Amino acid sequence: MENNQPFQIVNDCGFRSLMKTGRPEYYIPSAETLSCDVKNMFVCVHGHIAKALKVSLMLPCDDLRTHLIQ
């Protein structure tokens, strides 16, 4: 996604027309909004994964299995 091309699809007239035909009530965000949302979600998920890995490295194997099942 170096040049945001995957996100730019939401600005394409054909894509917008297709979406409005199939789902006229659906809000289509701008490419900039979509890019920002994905980056924010990545930061959030990255933090959760890092925290989960830190916890799992500190737990003995039996506790880890119990922790993951919950």
Q: Would you state the pLDDT for residue 27?
A: 92
Q: How far apart are CA 27 and CA 36, in angstroms?
A: 16
Query: How far is residue 24 from each of residues 10, 13, 18, 19, 54, measured CA to CA in Å?
Result: 14, 14, 9, 7, 45
Evaluate if residue 42 carries a pLDDT over 70. Answer: yes
Q: Would you state the pLDDT for residue 3?
A: 60
Note down the domain range covering 55: 5-69
* Domains held by the chain: number: 1
Q: Is the pTM of this model over 0.85?
A: no
